[in-house]
Structure 1
Amino acid sequence: MDADLSQAPGLKRDDRLVILASSVGTVIEWYDFYLYGSLAAIITAQFFSGVNETTGYIFALMAFAAGFAVRPFGAVFFGRLGDLWGRKNTFLVTMLLMGLSTFVVGLLPSYAAIGVAAPVILIAMRLVQGLALGGEYGGAATYVAEHAPPGKRGFYTSFIQITATAGLLLSLVVILGVRLAVGEAAFLDWGWRIPFLVSILLLGVSLWIRLRLAESPAFARMKAEGKGSPTPLKDSFGRWPNLKLVLIALVGLTAGQAVVWYTGQFYALFFLEKVLRVDAALANILIAVALLLATPFFVFWGWLSDKVGRKPIILAGCLLAAATYFPLFSALTEAANPRLAAATASSPVTVVADPADCSVQFDPVGKTVFDSSCDLAKGFLAKAGVSYANEAAPAGTLAQVRIGDTTVAGVDGTALARPAFAEAKAGFEATLGTALATAGYPPKAEATLVNRPMVVAILFVLVFYVTMVYGPIAAALVEMFPTNIRYTSMSLPYHIGNGWFGGFLPTTAFAIVAATGNIYAGLWYPVVVALATVVLGYLLVTERKDVDLSA
């Protein structure tokens, strides 16, 4: 990175420090934030063990999403401070909050030790992380953009865009390293805490680097000339001309960028582990390789956006993703779990049941017993990662599961006493499991059958789309707003897009899959949002790659 930066004309001596400090600090913040998502299954066992497994995992996903839910509020709060105090001071505070909250998670006792206080404190730390991250990105992107020389803004801010993927990659590497060093049993017991605790060392390094920075020249000039806004929130969101730009940035750029980003990185990893049942360590290695191969393209697309504009690259990435997600994820199934793909094709599964007999199987307290014949059938299939079609049966009919030419009769537990119900359920699941195995459905992906080069190639394409939409986005957002309200104005659409549209993608996609029985149905969410962004961005977004940021 330094070699490239040193060749750029018009740079001051400290410009490389500016980009390095902003990038490194943001990498650490993303590392902290991603640890939770990468360790969701273990965190479920540690902090949500008082509820059943399915509800615990849903809670873990919701706690993960909670960090994203508050990001827009962090953007507003810290964005205001950034436009009043300055860029440097604000993102020092956000980084400190992020690092300390992550360290606390590493020390937090489990549910077994302190009961319900454990998940409560965990979610509180997630909220602090989300607030801090909401203020961090806008400050780093604005700070670097305001230092960049003319014609280099996309290139320089693209290094900030690498940080999210680099943070994810760093978290995967640290997790894998600790796993291999202490062994899987020890990692599940206590070793998972080490990546969280290590963050305190990374925080110290990042703070030391950032304390050496001076304030952004554009902000310092604005303050010296007395042109700062005393009410950045009102000026950003209370005046229609600027609010309109905020809304256009959201629907025409960041919403589509967000779902492409999270599908290519988070949902791809979730799909490998939870749907295709690939071993977690292997899945992490495969996606880490794809990330390493694709990461340089963040800088490429940022550089190219200085030539051709931000808008065409971002919208092209959204369009390509929407057009190819379904065939790509289908190919991922073939490559990662060929036995599952073959069984799905040769012996499709259908749940034939009275619709009135089927519940939405979400239990917020983990105490509800789903004992109808339909719920028992769908619950088992969902846990087994088996796709199924739904077929309505006459009212009052006992549910059946059809596997190719084989039919397994359901069990109605609604009128049974608890011991009898448990026995009947176990018998039904054993029979259904045997029928699935006979039809070729594997309990998990066999490592020896995983086509590693093909999986990496597919994951690379997914992350390549991420680089297209994400590489130029910082420059595009910075250029839409004036200096005195830039931090506030650009942060909100970015974090609503990435915090809400993107952050809730795993939970939303999971719900769609559970409702339909189709393991690919969750992809409709990113496809629809990405296509909407293509249309609205084409109609509403104005290219501003050559605008003067000091104006």
Structure 2
Amino acid sequence: MNSIKKIEEVRGPQHYRKVAIAACFGTFLEWYDFLTFATLAVALGPLFFPSNDPNTGLLASLATFGIGMVVRPIGSALFGSLGDRIGRKPVFMITIALMGLATVSVGFLPTYAQIGIWAPILLVGLRLMQGLSAGGEIGGSAVYLTEHAGNENRGFKTSFLQLMGPLGILLSTLQIAFLQQWLSPEEFQAWGWRVPFWISILLLLIAFKARMALEETPVFLELSKHAEKNESHLMNNFKDPEIRKRMFLLFFCISSSGAILFFCVQVYTAIFLKTSVRLNTSLVDQLSIFATMMLFPLTIFAGWISDRIGRKPVVLIGIFLGAIFIHPAFQLLQHFGEIYIEAPTYDLLLVMGAILMTLSLALGMVAGPQTALLAELFPAKNRNSAATLPHNLAAGWIGGLLPLIIAWLNQSWGNSLAGLWYPTLFLGAAGIAAFFYLPETKRINLSK
């Protein structure tokens, strides 16, 4: 522990800022690449999954997005174990290169009209690559940044990492909104949708250079001296009852709740407003940008307040707020959206903005302390593998499939709101489990 303190003192606050910027930018790129596909789901449907029924094409597009999420746990199992064995930094370099290659390739992929059935097959293959990369990056980056943050104000320091997903959505949405305004619908459908994927080439080069300058975490360096990292195996995590319990709590209570709220607020709201309410695309993009901008200060505030009152109460507020408000929020969005179509007024936009801000508050309260919680729940030698698997399992299987499941339930029941009972009930159960079993971790020493 003294060695870790000495390393932290030598490196100082300026070094942490450098680490945070590099880690956050790399994670931003991962999210930008990964979520651009979700933002373009409506446009990609007819290009790669042509069908006489638009709903079928949308479902196929959302299913392809979901496939990338489903394989995230495989990437986390592979890269999480590598992170405990060879170090956090080498894994970062591998994952970001894999994500960049897959995303750039999507931008050059021929459509169904050009190469037939091979177009969706290749698209699915590239989504699988993106999913594997995201599994190693998202979760591992939380461990890396938290281990660099030290033992003071970890919630606040690490909350900025949680903004990278919304920031990726924001940049993607702004780009697409600009392209749709600048290009005709025919031009956008012909080649404009490729531009966000091409831009990732430049972002990849910047992120890769920044990560080359990163150093290993003090915690891992200390483990290396005692060769303790060799004791960490993914299967050993399941043999330890305490680690196994905490992995389940991370999966069910923290990561699943955060994933559900993230995909409801940042992904599904735009799809819902465009397809079910049938609001103008540019208006939906403006509302989405507003919701994302509101999320930034809310997330940082939640991280800061969790350093004062604890991680658990902040997370519980977010989970229960989401459970109570998700279904009525979408009901109200549909109601006011339909009124707006008939008689557009500025007041209606403000009301819909306030609804989205409340959803963003629920997400921010869970997301703010989440980065610190991921690392604090587990001992140092098992941290990377124990944290990344349940986190990515939740994000991939619970969050990533959420838009598809909701859309399918809506179609099955013939009601555009029926599917929203799924996230509502899940959040309620997760909140109850967290209330009784989730430990408080804000004072945990990360070197142990």
With the shorter chain as reference, the TM-score category is: over 0.9
Distance (Å, rounded) in 2 between the aligned partners of 1:27 and 1:114:
32
| Paired residues of 2:135 and 2:388 also in contact (CA < 8 A) | yes
Distance (Å, rounded) in 1 between the aligned partners of 2:87 and 2:43:
39
Q: CA deviation at 1:485?
A: 1.5
Distance (Å, rounded) in 1 between the aligned partners of 2:183 and 2:443:
52
The one of 439, 457, 473 equivalent to 2:354 is 457
| Paired residues of 2:64 and 2:124 also in contact (CA < 8 A) | yes
- The superposition leaves residues 439-472 of structure 1 with CA deviations (integer Å, 9 ceiling, x where unpaired) of xxxxxx4684573222222111111211111111
Amino acid at match of 1:163: M
Amino acid at match of 1:533: A
Partner of 1:540: 437
- The superposition leaves residues 521-542 of structure 1 with CA deviations (integer Å, 9 ceiling, x where unpaired) of 1110111010011111111111
| Paired residues of 1:261 and 1:469 also in contact (CA < 8 A) | no
Partner of 2:395: 498
Identity of matched residues, %:
36
Taking structure 1 as the reference length, the TM-score comes to 0.77
Q: Which has the larger radius of gyration?
A: 1
Partner of 1:37: 38
| Paired residues of 2:232 and 2:381 also in contact (CA < 8 A) | no
Amino acid at match of 2:186: A
Residues 30-429 of structure 1 aligned to structure 2 (within 5 Å): 30-49=31-50, 52-338=53-339
- The superposition leaves residues 412-445 of structure 1 with CA deviations (integer Å, 9 ceiling, x where unpaired) of xxxxxxxxxxxxxxxxxxxxxxxxxxxxxxxxx4
Partner of 2:6: none
Distance (Å, rounded) in 2 between the aligned partners of 1:486 and 1:208:
26
Distance (Å, rounded) in 2 between the aligned partners of 1:237 and 1:171:
38
Distance (Å, rounded) in 1 between the aligned partners of 2:248 and 2:331:
34
Taking structure 2 as the reference length, the TM-score comes to 0.94
Q: CA deviation at 1:513?
A: 1.3
Q: CA deviation at 1:124?
A: 0.5
- The superposition leaves residues 452-504 of structure 1 with CA deviations (integer Å, 9 ceiling, x where unpaired) of 22222211111121111111111112101111111111011111111111111
| Paired residues of 2:84 and 2:232 also in contact (CA < 8 A) | no
Mind listing any 5+ residue stretches in structure 1 that lack a counterpart? 1-8, 340-444
- The superposition leaves residues 191-249 of structure 1 with CA deviations (integer Å, 9 ceiling, x where unpaired) of 11011111111000111111111111110111012221344212223433322221122
| Paired residues of 2:139 and 2:392 also in contact (CA < 8 A) | no
Aligned length in residues: 439
Distance (Å, rounded) in 2 between the aligned partners of 1:337 and 1:449:
12
Q: How has the CA–CA distance of structure 1 residues 100 and 447 changed in structure 2, closer, same or farther, with 3 Å as cutoff?
A: farther
Residues 480-499 of structure 1 aligned to structure 2 (within 5 Å): 480-499=377-396
Q: CA deviation at 1:50?
A: 6.0
Amino acid at match of 1:465: A
1:514 matched to 2:405? The reply is: no
| Paired residues of 2:23 and 2:145 also in contact (CA < 8 A) | yes
Structure 1 runs (4+) greater than 6 angstroms displaced: none
| Paired residues of 2:74 and 2:132 also in contact (CA < 8 A) | yes
Q: CA deviation at 1:66?
A: 0.4
Distance (Å, rounded) in 2 between the aligned partners of 1:152 and 1:270:
37
Partner of 1:82, secondary structure, is: helix
Distance (Å, rounded) in 2 between the aligned partners of 1:176 and 1:229:
49
Partner of 2:47, secondary structure, is: helix
Partner of 2:138, secondary structure, is: helix
Distance (Å, rounded) in 1 between the aligned partners of 2:363 and 2:342:
29
Amino acid at match of 1:469: V
Distance (Å, rounded) in 1 between the aligned partners of 2:212 and 2:349:
43
- The superposition leaves residues 334-359 of structure 1 with CA deviations (integer Å, 9 ceiling, x where unpaired) of 322217xxxxxxxxxxxxxxxxxxxx
Distance (Å, rounded) in 2 between the aligned partners of 1:166 and 1:126:
21
Distance (Å, rounded) in 2 between the aligned partners of 1:447 and 1:231:
62
Partner of 1:333, secondary structure, is: helix
Distance (Å, rounded) in 2 between the aligned partners of 1:289 and 1:449:
17
1:524 matched to 2:421? The reply is: yes
Distance (Å, rounded) in 1 between the aligned partners of 2:185 and 2:343:
17
